Chain A
């Protein structure tokens, strides 16, 4: 027999002014199952809670209804109080008679009647409540960071700083990512390498961080706190533990015609190489597509020259398996392919380059040692024209519909650096809008115009063509309402950025959702910007949306804070309001698994006794309570009615409906 206690809160005058609390208490007394009904000025106060606890003890209550403010406010308070008195916290229900009643109705009679119905509805529900216990799952105190760019580096450093072990998995031979390719950074113009490489070294020196370069995530199993991850360590053909980074192999390699990816293919590198001087780890790698020994068996020079015997041509890919409590995705971006934007003549003219190529041409460690020379003839360009929004905000099938966010600022940076270093250079910028929101950002752009004399032209370029050795840039000057043609020596395209395509596979492995532009989706656009909808997976950097370095670093640190908050726990309390399948009714149809956004539902073969010693094995749904988030999508999809949601069971909601309709 149910023994329900009902407590009506006055909330000072917030409720009591419009709702006749006395009448509500009185009306409820006669409800079947109610053994105690009272009202009190402030139920959430110490005394109010004591009243509740005393009643539980005295009347041996099996269920409690509090008519008060929104459950979003004090449900947890009253559940805790009940628990302290030995009542299962999930036997407490709230009737929201403040936000949903007293505050919005003026007529006392009407409001009182509604309050009575709302309390009766809560009673109807609580009668069907079952005690629930939050499960516990252990936490593996180690984090995985996928991607070794600035986002991954920052997240790893912060997690390591808190004392947790963290692995960085990077698919390239070195960490550093895109930031390592940049020359200077906006809006302060400090050199990218100067601020990045110390962080890279910190990663290498940390005893908590394990850097797995030239490696890719192959498989992910498990759930928050308990991920099991397979990592492919690609064959490097150089023993990381032996190589000293002396570069003798590079000097001796006869196959020197490989395209230097780090320099955006603007120059060549040998088949055995270290991507750049400050690479971490400072260990060579052999490009198997280019190496003569690996391709034809002839050569082997590097092995002969290596003083420490680090070269091993027989090396193969290895799969390692590790366990993690949390995962940070920081896979970064790449510039889009602009071959289809033929109006800018990128593929026909060597002197039409992308902004990232310009970064390398301006970089002291780049192919021209930092001297700005145009690729076609290695001369100083005297007139440089920048074109913004190449592929951004473009709905055609060549471009991207979104704003890439960083281009306005880096174009201003490039324009300024060029004018600073080569004051005799004329710099033009075609733009649609200059978008520089951010601290000191618009000021930075204005400096380009006002102090550095960069010519900003509002309008888009229609065509770039070669005439008498000049690149003719023909476009609109919308302010002047003129079509202008600027004979230029170098044209720089502010190319749109897109998520690194490998993110697709990672999203699938993690059941992290991805949007139509391949950006990973955050759990909530405002309130959960670094969480993936998959518990235990966090997002940092451009994989989640276009952003610049300061934003990326902030997001990476935010991820780290979330990871630390998770790893610091010995076990995780799981939300007990999760789906559960009645195995005797489940027909194993897989519909529930199809709608589950979290991959919480798997199928197991279960043996059922049929009587007479016979058994039958059937495939039935199993909901992993640690992964289920409790949305209930599966409960409605289930054709046999086997799936139900604890705490929001079909019977409970039906009884609420009935109670509301009872007149």
Chain B
């Protein structure tokens, strides 16, 4: 019994997933209706387009103790807003390399293209990403300690 409680207390990472409304959010819906599982610690935020994701949001997530952030958008060339995902790709590759420089491992951040028809891919991507984050463990690099204290209190 004691052992089981110990296991329960094992660290569960927090993963924030930004999904564009037209492709990836719909892909996640399809994963759901196809009952394709992925870990419950992945939480999705709906945005109109992946290009709506401000680098600030990613930084905010890490500051608040997220362990991984993933952005999903339409495949290049298929963006509902024509070129939005190209901006995402450029912005995020820059941001992620900065974060890597700061010690947020490259594996903690990711951009994936998931279409509305790719429920299976959505599930596979989330499983894989969650596995990588589990391996990396807790992210403390950007965490705001004041936030952590508030929480622990």
Q: Do chains A and B touch in the complex (CB under 8 A)?
A: yes
Tell me the A residues contacting B by CB distance below 8 Å.
Answer: 70-72, 96, 98-101, 103-107, 110-111, 113-114, 117-118, 121, 513, 521, 523-525, 533, 577, 595, 597, 629-633, 635-637, 645, 648, 650, 653-654, 656-658, 660-663
Is B48's CB under 8 angstroms from A577's CB? yes
Interfacial residues of chain B within 1-49, with CB under 8 A of chain A in the complex: 14, 16, 25-26, 28-29, 31-33, 35-38, 40, 43-49
CB <8 Å contact, A636 and B87: yes
Choose from B14, B57, B78 the contact partner of A663 (Cβ within 8 Å): B14
Q: Let me know if A660 and B28 touch, CB within 8 A.
A: no
A105 near B51 (CB under 8 angstroms)?
no
B73 nearest CB across to chain A (Å): 11
CB-based nearest A residue for B147: A661
CB <8 Å contact, B46 and A71: yes
Binds A, one of B61-69, B103-111, B128-136: B61-69
Does chain A have a CB within 8 A of B60? yes
A597 to B, closest residue via Cβ? B82
Q: How far is the CB of A351 from chain B (nearest CB, A)?
A: 43
- The docked-state distance in angstroms from the alpha carbon of A105 to that of B43 is 12
| Interface assignment of B52: CB less than 8 Å from any CB of chain A | yes
> B36, A104: Cβ atoms under 8 Å?
yes
A654-B57, A654-B60 known; A533 vs B81 contact (CB < 8 Å): yes
Given A595-B87, A658-B64, A661-B61, do A633 and B49 touch, yes or no (CB 8 Å)? yes
Query: Which of B32, B53, B84 touches A99 (beta carbons < 8 Å)?
Result: B32
Is there contact, CB below 8 Å, between B38 and A104? yes
Contacts of A597 in B (CB 8 A): 81-84
Please name all residues of chain B whose beta carbon is closer than 8 Å to the beta carbon of A99 when the two chains form the complex. 28-29, 31-33
Choose among A111, A645, A660 the residue that contacts B52 (Cβ–Cβ < 8 A): A645
Do B40 and A660 touch (CB < 8 A)? no
Report whether B45 and A653 are in contact in the complex, using a CB–CB cutoff of 8 Å.
yes
Rounded to whole angstroms, the CA-CA distance of A117 and B43 in the bound complex is 9
Give Cα A629–Cα B83 distance, bound, in whole angstroms: 13
Q: Nearest Cβ distance between residue A111 and chain B, in whole angstroms?
A: 7
Given B32, B49, B56, B84, which contacts A100 in the complex, CB threshold below 8 Å?
Answer: B32
Q: In this complex, what residue of A is CB-closest to B74?
A: A524
Q: Is the CB of B52 within 8 A of A648?
A: yes
A117 surroundings in chain B (CB, below 8 A): 43
A657 and B64 form a contact (CB under 8 A):
yes
- 16 new A-B contacts, CB < 8 A, other than A71-B46, A104-B31, A632-B84, are A72-B29, A99-B31, A100-B28, A104-B36, A104-B37, A114-B43, A513-B82, A597-B83, A597-B84, A636-B54, A636-B55, A653-B57, A654-B56, A654-B57, A657-B61, A662-B64
Across the two chains, which residue of chain A brings its CB closest to B55? A636
Contact of A631 among B14, B29, B32, B84 (CB under 8 A): B84
Nearest CB of A to B37, in Å: 5
Interface-centre pick from A106, A633, A637, A660 (highest chain B CB count, 10 A): A633
Q: Quick check: A636 and B51 within 8 Å, CB to CB?
A: yes
On whether the beta carbons of B45 and A657 are closer than 8 Å, the reply is yes
* In contact, B54 and A650 (Cβ under 8 angstroms): yes
How far apart are the CA atoms of A513 and B84 in the complex, in Å?
A: 13
Chain A CB within 8 A of B140 CB = no
4 tightest Cβ-Cβ pairs between the two chains A and B: A99-B32, A632-B52, A661-B64, A631-B81
- Most chain-A CB neighbours within 10 Å: which of B55, B57, B151? B57
Cβ of B84 to closest chain A Cβ, rounded Å: 5
Q: What 0/1 pattern do residues 87 to 127 of B give for CB contact below 8 A with A?
A: 10001000000000000000000000000000000010000
Compute how far the CA of A571 lies from the CA of B47 in the bound complex, rounded to whole angstroms. 28
Q: Do A104 and B32 have beta carbons less than 8 Å apart?
A: yes
A660 touches B16 (CB 8 A): yes
A525 touches B78 (CB 8 A): yes
Give Cα distance in the complex from A201 to B71, angstroms: 55
Report 30 cross-chain contacts, Cβ distance below 8 Å, ordered by A residue. Answer: A70-B32, A72-B26, A96-B44, A98-B32, A99-B29, A99-B32, A100-B44, A104-B31, A104-B37, A111-B40, A513-B83, A521-B82, A595-B83, A597-B81, A629-B81, A632-B52, A633-B49, A636-B54, A637-B87, A650-B54, A653-B52, A653-B54, A654-B56, A654-B60, A656-B45, A657-B16, A657-B45, A657-B60, A661-B14, A661-B65
- Of B29, B40, B45, B84, the residue contacting A105 (CB under 8 A) is B40
Determine the residue in chain B with the shortest Cβ distance to A534.
Answer: B82
From B119, which residue of chain A is reached at the shortest CB distance? Answer: A99
A533: chain B residues within 8 A (beta carbon): 81-82
Known contacts A99-B33, A100-B32, A661-B64; is-contact A632 B47 (Cβ 8 Å): yes
How distant is the Cα of A99 from the Cα of B61 in the complex, in angstroms? 23
| Complex Cα gap A117–B45 (Å) | 12
Using Cβ atoms and an 8 Å threshold, which residues of chain B touch A658? Answer: 60, 64
State A434–B12 Cα separation when bound (angstroms).
57
The smallest C-beta distance from B64 to any residue of chain A, in angstroms, reads: 4
- For the complex, what is the distance from the CA of A178 to the CA of B32, rounded to whole Å? 49
Verify A663–B65 contact, CB threshold 8 A.
Answer: yes
Report which residue of A71, A630, A653 has the largest number of chain B beta carbons within 10 angstroms of its beta carbon.
A653
Complex Cα gap A556–B25 (Å): 32
Closest to B37 in A: A104
Chain B residues near A110: list those with CB within 8 A. Answer: 40
